[in-house]
């Protein structure tokens, strides 16, 4: 068989995750001895809080080494139900909850469970890289609704209204948003819910994985709107708020029919998430802890520092993010300029040249549906962030 035939059309049509690709590139350069600062992948640089690690060790000793029920350990799902009530004012039972290997898999399960070929899906843009590919893998047709920098990168209810129709399967967005850091207010979410509510076949997938990282105002779930509550699926997980990216634990709270469908898929694909991890995550959600808030305070300090430093680069258009840990500057003023004979035609070339010339790893905005921007994660030490900002100042200053 020729090599051409080995791989499926499915994988040949799949774009590689730009965030993970850049972070691997940064790792490779580092292992070659290069002085790389990676602001590419979005993951807290903190270790998981000790009480959660201790809980996982205890869980291993206590025999949490077997398969769990496919949708998750009962005690973890109970802890999630309590968390959703306590933190978000939402009413669910354990039959609504499915635990997966990260929120990424939760979103993938949902798309596989809900989409038929060519179903329309509205995606707020800029979007998290994987939304588009996961929707496309499930046969869906993404309709990107673009938020503007003038509106703090938030899609308005009027914009949603302009593209809504009876056959939209779901509307997908994150608040706080990756990559822009925008946080939708209660009023904005209510206005969007009011637009979607009359369309009885349309669901909402609300990705709330950055809920603990909000700097001003509060995190609000669109699911609190009664007119869409029974058609809203909340996606969340342990990765960001509890610095547990490597544990691979995400979950959904969904109408029972959808939750069961996701569990059915998962039962054939992964059998569920790791038992001792789930036990420790249950303890994380049930323990009164200020660890997420302490991490958020550090992120806020870093955000302010990076914004101050990047503001010194004339021509860079910055919006001040209210949540998550990303800065998403519009760099279009620099397109057409050159460095060492290479013309910066777009954000892909820009991110490549920044890495090549300064060893600062960022991600091109094109991967997030915003080709004028690049994304920097400030989930890195202050020292590295300061160093990276200086390198970026020199880089942009040397474009001509
Ligand atoms: N949603 C958003 C908006 C994200 O940024 C990420 C990246 N962590 C995920 C979902 C997936 O998170 P995980 O799979 O680590 O739970
Ligand atoms: N969500 C993070 C990011 O956007 C982690 C990497 C990934 O899963 O894509 O960088």
**Residues with Cβ within 6 A of ligand 2?**
17, 19-20, 41-43, 104, 128-130, 178
CA of 282 to the centre of ligand 2 (A): 23
Does ligand 1 come within 6 angstroms of the Cβ of 174?
Answer: yes
146, 192, 218, 308 from 186: Cα distances, Å: 20, 10, 9, 29
Reported as a pLDDT band with limits 50, 70 and 90, residue 10 is confident
State the Cα torsion 158-137-220-192 to the nearest 10°: 20
Q: In what order do the strands lie in the sheet with 232-237?
A: 97-100, 250-253, 232-237, 203-207, 168-174, 120-125, 141-146
The residue whose CA is least distant from atom 5 of ligand 1 is 178
Evaluate if residue 2 carries a pLDDT over 90.
Answer: no
Q: What is the mean pLDDT of residues 295-305?
A: 98
CA of 109 to the centre of ligand 1 (A): 14
Name which of 21-25, 32-36, 56-60, 151-155 the model is least confident about. Answer: 21-25
- From ligand 1's centre to the CA of 105, what distance in Å? 9
In the prediction, which pLDDT does 127 show? Answer: 98
pLDDT of residue 71: 98
**How close are the terminal C-alpha atoms of the chain, in Å?**
50
Q: Considering the domain 9-47+291-398, what is its CATH architecture?
A: Alpha-Beta Complex (3.90)
H-helix or E-strand containing 73?
Answer: none
Q: 128: Cβ below 6 Å to ligand 1?
A: yes
Q: Is domain 50-286 annotated with CATH 3.40.640.10?
A: yes
The mean pLDDT value for 269-295 works out to 97
> What pLDDT, in 10s, does the model give residues 58-67?
999 999 999 9
Distance CA 88, CA 69 (A): 26
Domain ranges of the chain: 9-47+291-398, 50-286
Match 């989409």 to its residue by tokens: 115
Is the CB of 42 within 6 Å of ligand 1?
A: yes
pLDDT(27) > 60: yes
Q: pLDDT tens digits for 359-395?
A: 999 999 999 999 999 999 999 999 999 999 999 999 9
Q: Is the CB of 245 under 6 A from ligand 1?
A: yes
pLDDT per residue over 339-363, tens digit each?
999 999 999 999 999 999 999 999 9
- Is the predicted pLDDT of residue 231 greater than 70, yes or no? yes
pLDDT value of position 313: 98
pLDDT band at 5 (very low <50, low <70, confident <90, very high): confident
Q: pTM here?
A: 0.96
- Which of the listed residues 179, 239, 377 should we mutate to test ligand 1's pocket, taking the one with most ligand atoms within 8 A of CB? 239
DSSP code string of 314-359: TT-B----SBTTEE--B-GGGTT-EETTEE--SHHHHHHHHHHHH-
User: Do the Cβ atoms of 185 and 217 come closer than 8 Å?
Assistant: yes
Find out whether 97 and 72 touch, Cβ atoms under 8 Å: yes
- Residue 158's Cβ-side half-sphere holds a number of Cα atoms within 13 Å equal to 2
- Determine the distance separating the centroid of ligand 2 and the alpha carbon of 18, expressed in angstroms: 9
293 has pLDDT over 90: yes
Contact 207, 183 (CB under 8 A): no
Q: Which residue, 400, 294, 367, 395, is CA-closest to 127?
A: 367
**Position 13 confidence tier, pLDDT thresholds 50, 70, 90:** confident
Same fold, 9-47+291-398 and 50-286: no
SS3 percent helix, strand, coil of the chain, rounded to 5, is 45, 15, 40
Atom of ligand 1 nearest to the CA of 19: 7
**Average pLDDT of the segment spanning 69-75:** 98
DSSP helix/strand/coil, 40: coil
Q: How many CB atoms lie within 10 A of CB 149?
A: 17
């Amino acid at each position: 068989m020729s090599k051409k035939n080995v791989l499926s059309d499915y994988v040949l049509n799949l774009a590689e995750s730009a965030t993970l690709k850049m972070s691997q590139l940064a790792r490779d350069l580092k292992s070659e001895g290069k002085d790389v600062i990676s602001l590419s992948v979005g993951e807290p640089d903190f270790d998981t809080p000790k009480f959660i690690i201790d809980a996982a060790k205890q869980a291993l000793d206590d025999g949490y080494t077997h398969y769990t029920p496919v949708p998750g350990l009962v005690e973890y799902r109970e802890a999630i139900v309590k968390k959703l009530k306590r933190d978000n004012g939402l009413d669910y039972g354990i039959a609504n909850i499915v635990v997966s290997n990260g929120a990424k898999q939760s979103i993938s399960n949902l798309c596989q469970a809900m989409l038929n070929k060519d179903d329309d899906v509205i995606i707020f843009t800029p979007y998290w890289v994987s939304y588009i590919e996961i929707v496309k893998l499930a046969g869906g047709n993404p309709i990107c609704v673009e938020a503007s920098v003038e509106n703090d990168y938030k899609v308005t209810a009027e914009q949603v209204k302009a593209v809504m129709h009876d056959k939209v399967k779901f509307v997908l967005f994150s608040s706080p948003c990756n990559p822009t850091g925008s946080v939708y207010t209660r009023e904005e979410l209510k206005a969007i819910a009011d637009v979607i509510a009359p369309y009885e076949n349309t669901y909402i997938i609300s990705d709330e994985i950055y809920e603990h990282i909000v700097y001003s105002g509060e995190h609000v779930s669109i699911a609190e709107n009664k007119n869409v509550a029974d058609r809203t699926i909340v996606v969340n997980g342990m990765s960001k708020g509890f610095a547990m990216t490597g544990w691979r634990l995400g979950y959904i709270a969904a109408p029972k029919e959808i939750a069961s469908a996701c569990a059915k898929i998962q039962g054939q694909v992964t059998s569920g998430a790791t038992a001792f991890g789930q036990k420790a995550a249950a303890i994380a959600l049930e323990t009164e802890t200020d660890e997420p808030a302490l991490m958020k305070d550090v992120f806020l300090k870093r955000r302010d520092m990076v914004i101050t430093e990047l503001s010194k680069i004339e021509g860079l258009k910055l919006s001040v993010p209210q949540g998550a840990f990303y800065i998403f500057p519009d760099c279009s003023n620099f397109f057409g300029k050159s460095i060492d004979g290479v013309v910066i035609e777009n954000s892909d070339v820009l991110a490549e040249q920044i890495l090549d010339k300064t060893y600062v790893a960022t991600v091109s905005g094109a991967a997030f549906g915003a080709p004028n921007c690049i994304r920097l994660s400030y989930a890195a030490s202050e020292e590295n962030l300061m160093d990276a900002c200086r390198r970026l100042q020199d880089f942009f200053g040397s474009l001509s």
